[in-house]
Amino acid sequence: MSERTRPDAGTTAERPVGDLGRRLATRRAQLGLTRQEAATRAGMAPSYLKHLEEHPGAAPNRGALHSLAAALLTTMAELTGGADDLPPGLEQANRSPELTELSTDECESLLGTHGVGRIAVTTASGPVILPVNYSVVDGTIVFRTNSGATPSLASGQQVAFEVDRIDDAFSSGWSVLVRGPARTVTDADEARRLDEQAYSAPWAGGRRDLWVRIESHTVTGRRIAV
């Protein structure tokens, strides 16, 4: 799993502001659309889409939201945050789905450099699956946690780590599963290097000084598409 260039955190051009603006820009990026292309699809002026992305108080009417959702191949609920507390996959299955196995290269590309994944660990009360913010460094999965926290129990175990993406609008998505041994990073120099190279900080906040590394012995994936 090769590393990718860290985005320039100092870039301010076309930076989205506000929840709707971030959702619009994120969905555009997922589809590989420029602002001009997205606006053309939605039948609106690029300047208006720029206003929606860059002004937190922007309040488009229902017609504009419907046009944007159609242009960005998503739903109004997704754009407005109405689906935030709902599990993905509420839509009906597509009439002609295609299930394909992903190659190792495709799996590594989808894992990317960082994101949110789920780790499955064994505890005294049984198996537990938890979300963690992870990074890909030196071809391995790494994440930060606290000593004694449930994710730290992965150390010394064979674990499973899963990342996925679900598109409710098209009843499609993909998942990548990594399996291998996990260990706590005890070498100070290695931990310092991870502090410098890892991309993702834990969303939950707080002090998390323990690094855990998962060796990618087996990487598999599947995609459901129309």
What residue numbers bound the domain in which 47 lies?
A: 19-80
- 91 residue type, one letter: E
Q: Are residues 128 and 214 in the same domain?
A: yes
Q: Are residues 179 and 108 in the same domain?
A: yes
User: Max CA-CA distance within the chain?
Assistant: 58
Q: Are residues 213 and 129 in the same domain?
A: yes
Burial (CB count within 10 angstroms: exposed 0-12, middle 13-18, buried 19+), residue 44: middle
Q: Are residues 156 and 67 in the same domain?
A: no
Percentage above 90 pLDDT, the chain: 58
pTM (global) more than 0.85: no
Instruction: Tokens for 215, please give them.
Output: 């060796």
The span from the CA of 38 to the CA of 36, in Å, is 6
Q: What are phi and psi of 142, to 5 degrees?
A: -130, 145
3-state per-residue secondary structure call for the chain = CCCCCCCCCCCCCCCCCCHHHHHHHHHHHHHCCCHHHHHHHHCCCHHHHHHHHHCCCCCCCHHHHHHHHHHCCCCHHHHHCCCCCCCCCCCCCCCCCEEEECCHHHHHHHHCCEEEEEEEEEECCEEEEEEEEEEEECCEEEEEECCCCHHHHHCCCEEEEEEEEEEHHHCEEEEEEEEEEEEECCCHHHHHHHHHHCCCCCCCCCCCCEEEEECCCEEEEEEEEC
Strand partners, 114: 135
Q: Are residues 75 and 132 in the same domain?
A: no
The span from the CA of 151 to the CA of 118, in Å, is 10
Is pLDDT of 60 > 60?
yes
User: Hey, what's the torsion of the CAs at 20, 26, 28, 34, to 10 degrees?
Assistant: 100
- 79 residue type, one letter: L
Q: Are residues 157 and 196 in the same domain?
A: yes
Mean pLDDT, rounded, for 201-214: 87
Q: Are residues 108 and 213 in the same domain?
A: yes
- Tell me if 85 is assigned to some domain: no
The span from the CA of 19 to the CA of 225, in Å, is 28
10 compared with 78, residue with greater pLDDT: 78
Q: What is the CATH number of the domain that holds 126?
A: 2.30.110.10
What is the tens place of the pLDDT at every residue in 148-188? 899 999 999 999 999 998 877 677 889 999 999 999 999 99
Q: Count structural domains, the chain.
A: 2
Q: What are phi and psi of 185, to 5 degrees?
A: -80, 110
What is the tens place of the pLDDT at every residue in 87-102? 777 667 777 788 999 9
What is the tens place of the pLDDT at every residue in 5-42? 343 333 334 554 568 998 899 899 988 999 999 999 99
